[in-house]
A and B are shown apart, each in its own frame.
Chain A
Amino acid sequence: MTDAAPAPFRNEKALKRLKKRRAADTRFRFYGMSAIAFALAALSLLIVSILSQAISAATYHVVRYDVVLDPAVIAPAGKDKPADVARNIDGFYNLLRSNLLQTFPDVQGNRLETRELGDLLTRLAVLPVAKSVAANPTQIGQEMTIKVPLNDDLDLYLKGAVSPEARLKLGTVEQGTETAPGRVTLSGPNAFKGLQSLISAQRAEVGDAVDARSILVTSGPATGRVVSMSANSLEMDLLTGSAADYQGARPLARVIALPEAQRNVSDDQIAWTLALKDMGRISRVPHFSLLTHTDSTYPELAGALAAIVGSLLTMLVTAFIAIPVGIFASVYLEEFAPRNRLTEIIEVNINNLAAVPSIVFGLLGAAVFLGFFGLPRSAPLVGGLVLALLTLPTIIIASRAALKSVPPSIRAAALGVGASKMQSVFHHVLPVAGPGIFTGAILGMARALGETAPLLLIGMVAFVADVPGGPTDESTALPVLVYSWATHAERAWEPMTAAVIVILLMFLITMNGIVVFLRRRFERRW
C-alpha cells in the first residue's frame, strides 16, 4: 500500500492549496499564542510596575538627632504633666529644629534658608517621640538619640526618584580658597575637564536648557553649586561646609536634570541632606511605620494600620452574615426546595445578582442602610452588610456546586437507616461538602476584600486618623485607602500606594493559598 494510487487530490493546485491551508493553520495557532502572550505580558507589566514602586517604599530615610531633652522646651513649668508633654509637638519640633540649626550655623539670619532647613523635618513626625517621652518621663533632661523620618521629597531625592542625575568623580583639587563670603574657587590641573565635557555633551542634547541645571560639587560634608568653570579651576557658591573640605580631595559632581524651580526640593536642602548623610546621621531603614501608623497628610508619616483594621472589621461582619446565610440558602435550594415557580424565580435572581455591578449594591446601601435604617456612615457595619449582600450570590453558587457534587448514595444511605431528610443533610451531606463550601466562602470573601466602589458610596472614604475600635466606628478599608492615596497629587504617594496594594495582594494571595491547599488536601472524586 506504500505506492499510492494516482490521487486526484495530489495535483499541483491541490498541493498549493494545502500549503495555504497549513499556513492558515499555523497563523491561527500563532494568533492564539500571541493572545495568551499579550494577557501574560499585561499581567507581568502590572505586577512589575507595582512591585518596583512598592520596593522603593519598603525602606525610607530617617535622620538621627542627638539632643538633650531640655525640660524648659519640652516640659515648661505648668505644662509638665505627661499628657501635656505628649501633646507638646511644638516643643519637640523646636528642640529638633534648633539641633538642625546648630548643625548648619551658616543659615542663621537668612529667613528663607531657615525655613527650608526646618522643612527637612515634618512637624507631626515628632508625635511618636513626644508620646514615648511622656510615657517615660525620667528621660526628660537626659541626652537622647531620636530618629525621625526625613521629609518625603528629600527621601524621594535620596532614592533617586526626583530627577535624573548624572554623577561624576572629579580630579584632585589642590587648593580651595574662599574668594568672597560664600564663594569658593577650587583649582587643580585638569581636575574639571571631565565635568566640562559632560556639560557640553548635555548641551548638545538639550541645548541651552542645560544652563538651568544645577551642578552640585560635594566633598565630605561640603557642597557647592557651580557658577563657572574652566579645565583647571571652578568657581562655586558654597551651600554647606567650608573650603577646607575640598583640599586634596576628589569631589563628586552631580548634574541634576530638573531645574531647581521645577523641583519640590531646593539645592540647599539637597546639600544639607547630603551633609547629614556624610555625617552618618541619615540611614535607610525598613518602613515599618507603613504597618503601624494610621493615615496622615504627610506621606512619610502615613501608614495603613487603620485601613487594615477597618478591612478586617468589615470582613468580619461580612463573614458573619454572608457565610451562614449563603450556606443555609444553598442547602435549601439544593436539598429542600420544591420545583415550583418561586424557587425558579429565586434561582434566576441569584444568578442575576451575581452579575449586578458592585456600585449598584453601594447605592442600595446608601439608600436603605444609611437613608432608611439610619445606620452610621463610614462604619464597617454598613460596609460589611453591603459586601455581604454582594458576595452572597457567589457563596450560594459555590456552595450549591459543592452540595451537588456529593453523590446521592450518601443521602440514600442516611435515609435508609432511618434518618430524616434534615438529619441526612446536616449530619452527612453538609460535612462531606464542607471543604468545597469553605473554599467558595473564602473566594467570596477575597472578592469582598478587594471591593472598593460600594464602600465609597457609604462614606468609607473619609480620612480616618484613629484605629477603629468597633464595627460602628468611623473607618476606612484597604482598597479605599489605595484609591484615596492614588488620587493624592504628591509624587511620594505613588510608592506608598503601591506598597498598600502589595499588602492588599498579600491578604488575597494568602486567602487563595488556603483555597488551593484545601482543594489539594480534601478534593475527592466520587
Chain B
Amino acid sequence: MVQQLGHLPMGWLLLALLAMLASGGFFVGRVQAERFNGAAGSVRVHSRPNYHGYYVAMWTFVPALVVALAYAMLGDGIVRSLLAGELPANFQNMPSVELDVYLDSIARAAFDHGYGGADRVFSAIANRFLELQGMVKASAIALALASAACGFFLARRKVAPGFRARNRVEGGIELFLFLCAAIAIATTVGIVASLLYESLRFFSEIPFWDFLFGTRWNAQTSAEFGALPLFYGTFMIALIAMLIAAPVGLFAAIYLSEYAGPTVRAWVKPVLEVLAGIPTVVYGFFALLVVAPAIRAVAVWINMTLMSAGITAEPLLAAQPTSALAAGLVMGIMVIPFVSSLSDDVINAVPQTLRDAAYAMGATKSETVKHVVLPAALPGIIASLLLAVSRAIGETMIVVMAAGQRARISPDPTADLTTITVQIVSLLTGETEFDSPKTLSAFALGLVLFVITLFFNLIALRVVQKYREKYD
C-alpha cells in the first residue's frame, strides 16, 4: 500500500490540489461575503464579495504552495537521506559519490515499476525506497492540506462586512509583484555566489597569482592553469573586432543621423539592426565556412609572395585553418549595430541649437560634426564603444567555432588563439562532476569574465546616465 503511494505523480497531483484549494477558498469566501448584501446591517460593506473570495483563496493557496515548493526542492533529498540511514553497514562505508550512483540506480529501478534481476539486496532496497517515497509523498500532501486548512479557517474568520479585504488582497499582490522584481537581484546573487563559491574551491588548489599571471594553459589534463594566454587571446580578438566595429559603426551612425534622408534612414537602420538579431552561432558558421578559409588563402598567398621575393626564408604567417583574424573580423561585423545604434541615439540627442550655431558660423557639415556634435556626444559614444567591447569579450559561439583551441601568446593574427569563453565551453561540455580543478577552473574563468564585463558595463551605464541628465 505504502509502496503504491510511492508511484504517485506528485507534480500533477499537487497542481490539481493547489487549483482546487484556491478555487474552493474563493468560492467559500465569496458566498460568505454575498450574504452581507442580503442582510442590510448597520455596517457599510467595505469590499466587493469577490475580494473576500480572493482573500480566503490567497490564504488557502499560499501555505499549500509553500509546502508544495518545499517538497519539490527537498522531497528527493529527504527520501535519500532516510534510505541512506537505514542501509547496512557496508553501504555506510562507501564513498559518497558511489553511494549517490547506487541510489540513482535504485531510484531508477523503483521508478520503472520494479526490478526483475536476481540481486535480492537491490530489490529489497528498491522496495524500501518506494515505501519511504510513498510516506514522504503522503505526508507532503497531508501537510499541504493541513496548512491550507489552517489558512482557510483563519482567513474565513476575518470575513466580515467591515473587513478591508480589497486592501489586504492588493497588499498581497504587491508583495508578489515585488518578489517578481526581486528575481533580478536573486539572479545576480546566484551568479556571483556560484561563481565565487566554485572559484574559491579552485583557488584553494591552484594559487590565485599562478592562475592570473601564469603563461601556460593546459587545463584538459588538469596540469597547468596559467590563464594569461587566454586573456591575451580574448583581448586580441576583441581588439580586432573593435578595429572593424568602431569606425564602421561610428561612421554609419554619423551618416544616418546627419546626412541620410528619412527614406534611407527608414530602410538602413532596421537592416543594420538585423545584424544584431542574427544568432551568433550563425556568425560562427559564416566565419568557419567563408571567412576563415579566405583568410587562410590570403595568408598563404602572402607567405608565398614574400618567400619567392626572397624577403623571408620561412613562412611569415601561421595561416591556420581557424584564426584570430577570422573570429575577430566576424565578431566586428556582429558588434557594428551595438555601436551604431547607441551612437545614433546619442548623436540625435545633441540639441539642434548646437548644430545651428555652428552652421551660422559658416562651418561645413563635417566640421559641425567633428567639432561640435561629436564632442557633445562623446560620453555616449564612449559608452557605446565600452558596451561593444564588453559584448565582444563575452561573445562565445563565434570564437568557439572560428578561433581555435590552442592557448598561446602570438602577435600573428592568422594564428589560432583561444579565449576565456572558448575554454569555458570546452571545459564544461560533457562534464557532470564539479570537483576536479579542470571543471572548477571554468568557473574561475567565468568569474574573471563577469568582473571584466561588469566593469565595462558599469562605466558605460554610468556615463549614459550622466549624459541623459545633461541634455534631458
What residues make up the interface of A, taking CB atoms closer than 8 Å to B?
A: 21-22, 24-25, 27-29, 31-36, 38-40, 42-43, 45-46, 49-50, 53, 324-326, 328-329, 331-333, 336-337, 343, 345-346, 348-353, 355-364, 366-368, 370-374, 377, 389, 392-393, 396, 420-422, 446-447, 449-453, 456-457, 459, 461, 479-480, 482-483, 486-487, 494, 497-498, 501, 504-505, 508, 512
Contacts and interface: CB of A to CB of B under 8 A. Distances in A.
A29 B460 CA distance: 28
A21 B367 CA distance: 8
B432 A36 contact: no
Nearest to B189: A349
25 contacts: A21-B367, A24-B364, A27-B366, A29-B255, A29-B365, A31-B251, A36-B251, A39-B252, A43-B274, A43-B275, A46-B283, A49-B286, A328-B176, A336-B178, A345-B185, A355-B391, A357-B395, A357-B449, A358-B394, A358-B396, A360-B195, A367-B194, A367-B443, A450-B280, A501-B285
B454 A32 contact: no
B66 to A, nearest CB: 17
A498 B284 CA distance: 12
B182 to A, nearest CB: 7
B301 interface: no
Contact of B181 (A332, A352, A377): A332
Interface of B: 73, 76, 166-167, 170, 173-174, 176-178, 180-185, 187-188, 190-191, 194-195, 197-198, 247-252, 254-256, 258-259, 268, 271-272, 274-275, 277-286, 288-290, 333, 336, 340, 364-367, 369-370, 387, 390-391, 393-397, 400-401, 421, 424-425, 428-430, 432, 434, 442-443, 446, 449-450, 453-454, 457-458, 460-461
A444 to B, nearest CB: 12
Overall SS of chain A's interface: helix
Contact of A452 (B254, B397, B428): B397
A456 B430 CA distance: 9
Contacts of A497: 285
A482 B286 CA distance: 11
Contacts of A389: 183, 187
A31 B458 CA distance: 31
B400 to A, nearest CB: 8
Contact of B396 (A42, A328, A373, A452): A452
Contacts of B256: 32, 36
A512 B277 contact: yes
A35 B247 CA distance: 8
A46 to B, nearest CB: 5
Contacts of B279: 449-452, 479, 482, 504, 508
B273 to A, nearest CB: 10
Contacts of B285: 50, 482, 486, 497-498, 501
A367 B190 CA distance: 9
B332 to A, nearest CB: 9
Which of A39, A329, A422, A479 has the most chain B CB within a 10 Å cutoff?
A: A39
A142 B76 CA distance: 55
Nearest 6 A/B pairs, CB to CB: A357-B394, A32-B255, A450-B279, A35-B251, A28-B366, A367-B194
Given A32-B252, A452-B281, A452-B396, 18 more contacts: A25-B364, A25-B367, A43-B275, A328-B176, A337-B178, A351-B461, A357-B394, A360-B394, A360-B446, A364-B191, A364-B195, A367-B195, A371-B194, A371-B434, A389-B187, A452-B280, A504-B282, A505-B282
Contacts of B281: 450, 452, 479-480, 482-483, 486
A377 B178 CA distance: 31
Contact of B401 (A366, A449, A487, A505): A487
Nearest to B254: A32
A459 B281 CA distance: 17
B180 A325 contact: yes
B374 to A, nearest CB: 11
Contacts of A355: 387, 390-391, 453, 457, 460-461
B425 A40 contact: no
A467 B457 CA distance: 40
Contacts of A46: 278, 282-283, 286, 290, 333
A508 B274 CA distance: 11
A346 B184 contact: yes
B424 A359 contact: yes
A368 B193 CA distance: 10
A337 B286 contact: no
A316 to B, nearest CB: 16
A351 B462 CA distance: 11
B187 A392 contact: yes
Contacts of A28: 365-366, 369-370
Nearest to B420: A359
A453 B395 CA distance: 9
A29 B364 CA distance: 11
B449 A359 contact: yes
Given A446-B277, A504-B282, A512-B277, A357 B185 contact: no
A356 B394 contact: yes
A329 B268 contact: no
B259 A29 contact: yes
Nearest to B177: A332
A370 B255 CA distance: 48
B286 A373 contact: no
A479 B400 CA distance: 14
Contact of A352 (B251, B442, B457): B457
A35 B396 contact: no
A35 B256 CA distance: 10
B434 A353 contact: no
B254 to A, nearest CB: 5
A382 to B, nearest CB: 13
B252 A494 contact: no
Contact of A332 (B170, B180, B249, B429): B180
A401 to B, nearest CB: 13
